[in-house]
Amino acid sequence: MPESSTFQRADPRDVESIDAIIAAAYHVISGPAGQKRDWNRERSLFYPGARIMPTASVPGRNDVELEPQMLDVEKYIARAEPLLQQGFYETEIARRTEEFGRIAHVWSTYESRHDPSDPAPFMRGINSFQLFNDGNRWWILSVYWQHESAEHAIPQKYL
């Protein structure tokens, strides 16, 4: 078992398959306004040293449109918690998976809503998950994503 000061034991159902860990990753960040997210569950999905990398514009940078923000799990939680408290539901709408041995790469297209009953998403994008199976469970090594924009529409093959 990996050693980490923030290691949390996972619910075996969350990490028994690729489907399960991807579903858990979406579920843990989703919830109504004011609901505290289960950050220990979030931590339990990630291999120690894992990276969570939103692709975003950087204030004060005019030389690049977008660049990855390299966050560890704790920095992601600090960044995301206030945003998710406004009501946030992210659901997977399509997936492409490549797997070899104990590694997998998942392209997961998502939609985001403030409430599940919202008629249309306020945002869509693609999450790129890198996964590892240690023989007992799946781990997220990294999540790297980009939101859809007018300049970067989601290609049909990912829908």
- CATH number for the domain spanning 26: value is 3.10.450.50
In sequence order, the β-bridge partners of residue 147 are 125
Number of domains observed in the structure of the chain: 1
Domain of residue 98: give its range: 12-158
102 belongs to a structural domain: yes
43 belongs to a structural domain: yes
From first to last of its 159 residues, the chain has per-residue pLDDT tens of: 555 445 689 999 999 999 999 999 999 999 999 999 999 999 999 999 999 999 987 666 666 677 899 999 999 999 999 999 899 999 999 999 999 999 999 999 999 999 999 999 999 999 999 999 999 999 999 999 999 999 899 999 999
7 belongs to a structural domain: no
Q: What is the pTM of this model?
A: 0.91
Pairing of strands 46-56, 67-68: antiparallel
SS3 83: helix
- Tell me, what's the pLDDT at 6? 55
CA–CA separation, 67 vs 144, rounded Å?
11
95 belongs to a structural domain: yes
126 belongs to a structural domain: yes
CA of residue 100 relative to chain centroid, distance: 21
136 belongs to a structural domain: yes
- Tell me, what's the pLDDT at 4? 47
2 belongs to a structural domain: no
3 belongs to a structural domain: no
The predicted-structure confidence for 123-133, as pLDDT tens digits, reads as follows 999 999 999 99
The token duo for 91 is 């659901």
